[in-house]
Chain A
Amino acid sequence: MADTVAQQPIRRKAADQSDRTDETVIEIKGLKKAFGNKEVLKNINLTLKRGENIVVLGRSGQGKSVTIQCIVGLLTPDEGSVKVFGQEVAELNNEQLKDLRTKVGFLFQSGALYDSMTVRENMEFALTRVLKIKDQAELDSRVMEVLEGVGLPEAADKMPSDLSGGMRKRVGLARTLIVKPEIMLYDEPTTGLDPITSREISELILEMQKKFKTSSIIITHDMDCARITSDRVVIMSEGEYVAEGTFDELQQSDNEFVKSYFLDTK
């Protein structure tokens, strides 16, 4: 399995995009966010369509994580509008926000596993509390399904502290996928993983998109992951998106700044 993956470069085929509808799931307009007197986001505009994967590139500390935290309501924008499924996030009440959050999966940069619980309890946390699934057989089968998806079925009864960094990342991914969200926000899904696992994760993201028509925003520094998963790429700098296009378009760009991201990819 790993061999074939490593040998064939995977490229998104244009045909995949045909089953995409034009429904907009996330719409961000003129988003601003400052911490103290530090303006992190100055003017963010983005639309994500159903079934689309957008990759966000940008140097460290540019506010990529802050942007997606605004989408799930962890941070409140200072100005501008963030609409998910047509609803303004800042105006939702608690119940509506909870509803929205069950449809949006969020993979934290750090994994954010609950370290007082086993991997299995981590997986079941949202299932039993939010989706109110009580049937143990169904819980077990869903846990096993996602853990097999990320290649870690044997880790179910371990504590997070017994896992390696890469394993934690994959468990974090599994925990996000288990509720079958319609939108996925991946904060650096492949950082800190070996090239083979990275590629498997990238493929998994692609597979999720095809199987469940998930729409995703993928923040990454991994150009391989960007190439595999992206329908569209945006580059963020100084609190704004400065370039946008398909991976190939940006790769051919004459702009020096854009080029600097694609140096190693030709």
Chain B
Amino acid sequence: MADQVISSSGWKKWLESVGDQTVFLSRFFRNVFRGGFEWSEFVRQCYEIGYRSLTLVGITSFIMGLVLILQLRPTLVEFGAESMLPHTLSVSVIREIGPVITAIICAGKIASSIGAELGSMKVTEQIDAMEVSGANPVQYLVVTRILATSFMVPLLAMLGDVISLFGGYFALNFTDDISFTLYFTKCVAALDFTDYMPALIKTIFFGFAIGFVGCYKGYTSDKGTESVGIAANSAVVTASLWIFFIDMMAVQITNLLYY
């Protein structure tokens, strides 16, 4: 009985939060198309996002490419398929590992910092102050950030992909003697439209999810000081879950469409 009460109120909370997020989403879309776009804030956000995650995305991607080659090599050698190494690496990086790794890093760095920033603006009444001045805080704070992440995460992912391939080349050079041109020709030859297009589209959704979750958690946080930490923290967790969920959906949809 007691359990029932708890679980039913848990469901109610969950449904309420789904409702709130839907309302927030519709506020975002209404404001995107309203006009009065805040270009300079958008550009500033893009710069911040890129600047903040570039190093980490670069290092992680490089190591990923390197490690993947080292791990794949013994298996492929067993089949005498060493020459397939660039092919295998490039398909797995472009389709899956590059986008997901980049998105997870951005969830950790960007979703949390957006959550914390908007959360603290909420706590210190800055968002209320914008609203009371007659300005539109959703337009200025939320629209710019969500669009900036939707734009920058795909760019970062592409960059991460390329750096991963470099990492792979570096690892391959330990053991095999392969020219840089040949390696990259092989990598590129392995790819076709169905590899990079779905990957690009899904990174746009990853970026959107990161921006949306960060903004939602920050903008709707409570007014206590501890709520800033909660907003940042739950933004990371929720955004990461969204990324894996979107990834799963993306692979299903791609398979349905192309195979």
What residues of chain A have their CB less than 8 Å away from a CB belonging to chain B? 69, 72, 74, 98-99, 101-102, 104, 106, 108-110, 112-116, 125-126, 129-130, 179
Residue B132 at the chain A interface, CB threshold 8 Å: yes
Residue B129 at the chain A interface, CB threshold 8 Å: yes
Residue B252 at the chain A interface, CB threshold 8 Å: no
**B136's closest neighbor in chain A, by CB?**
A129
**A108's closest neighbor in chain B, by CB?**
B125
Chain A residues with Cβ below 8 Å from B117 are: 116
Pick from B121, B124, B131, B135: contact of A74, CB under 8 Å: B131
Judge whether A114 and B126 touch: CB under 8 Å: yes
* Nearest CB on A from B16, distance (A): 15
Chain B residues with Cβ below 8 Å from A115 are: 124, 126
Residue B35 at the chain A interface, CB threshold 8 Å: no
Judge whether A112 and B124 touch: CB under 8 Å: yes
**A176's closest neighbor in chain B, by CB?**
B133
Chain B residues with Cβ below 8 Å from A108 are: 125, 128-129
Pick from B36, B126, B129, B140: contact of A106, CB under 8 Å: B129
What residues of chain B have their CB less than 8 Å away from a CB belonging to chain A? 36, 117, 121, 124-126, 128-136, 140
**B117's closest neighbor in chain A, by CB?**
A116
- What is the predominant secondary structure among interface residues of chain B facing chain A? helix
Judge whether A114 and B130 touch: CB under 8 Å: yes
Question: A74-B131, A102-B133 given. 16 additional CB < 8 A pairs?
Answer: A74-B132, A99-B134, A101-B134, A102-B134, A104-B132, A106-B129, A108-B125, A108-B129, A110-B124, A112-B125, A112-B128, A112-B129, A114-B130, A125-B130, A126-B135, A130-B134
Judge whether A129 and B36 touch: CB under 8 Å: yes
**B140's closest neighbor in chain A, by CB?**
A129
Residues A129 and B135 in contact in the complex (CB < 8 Å), given A110-B124, A112-B124? yes
6 closest A-B pairs (Cβ-Cβ)? A112-B129, A126-B133, A101-B134, A112-B125, A130-B134, A102-B134
Complex Cα distance, B125 from A113, in Å, reads 9
Pick from A69, A109, A126: contact of B134, CB under 8 Å: A126
Complex Cα distance, B132 from A28, in Å, reads 19
Chain A residues with Cβ below 8 Å from B136 are: 129
Chain A residues with Cβ below 8 Å from B128 are: 69, 74, 108, 112
